[in-house]
Amino acid sequence: MYICEYCQSKISELDAGMPCKSCGAKAYIKDPNYVPPTRTSTTPRTQTNQNESAQGLGIGQHESKSKLVAILLVLFLGMIGLNNFYLGQNGQGIVKLILTCAFWPITFFWSICELIYYLVGKPTDANGNPLT
């Protein structure tokens, strides 16, 4: 924790490089009375716990995608690339969406090929995780 030299307002570690929100000065001193908060939990923070807390933010999220859902999406909405968006393959989904407007037979054939691949192959999502 820091203190502004001019107005004595408290400044967090994250705002240390920014001007003081109260007076606009950039001169800070370390707060000698600041005691960092202690953790209340005695359990060490593991990678699993960090991933669980990050799930609400969408950071590090690698949820398993369903093969059945991917098959149904490619079967009914594959021409517009919805299955690609579901699997996180946004680039392919955008290309399919654009091609559908002008060249729908190409995207129809593309979707049939993907359907066959989903049924007999081992498809993965954009992160390389196999579909379940």
Chain centroid to CA 4: how far?
36
- Continuous segment of H or E residues that includes residue 105: helix 104-120
- The more confident residue out of 106 and 25 is 106
- Residue-wise pLDDT for 77-101, tens only, equals 988 999 999 999 999 999 999 988 8
Residue 131 φ/ψ region, left for φ over 0, alpha for ψ in the -120 to 50 degree band, beta for the rest: beta
- pLDDT for residue 51: 46
Q: In the sheet where 28-30 sits, what is the strand order?
A: 10-11, 2-4, 28-30
Q: What pTM was computed for the model?
A: 0.49
- Reply yes or no on whether the pLDDT at 123 is more than 80: yes
Of 91, 119, 117, 96, residue with least CA distance to 107 = 96
- Residue-wise pLDDT for 1-60, tens only, equals 677 777 777 777 666 667 777 777 766 666 667 665 666 655 555 544 444 444 444 555
- Specify the DSSP class assigned to residue 36: P
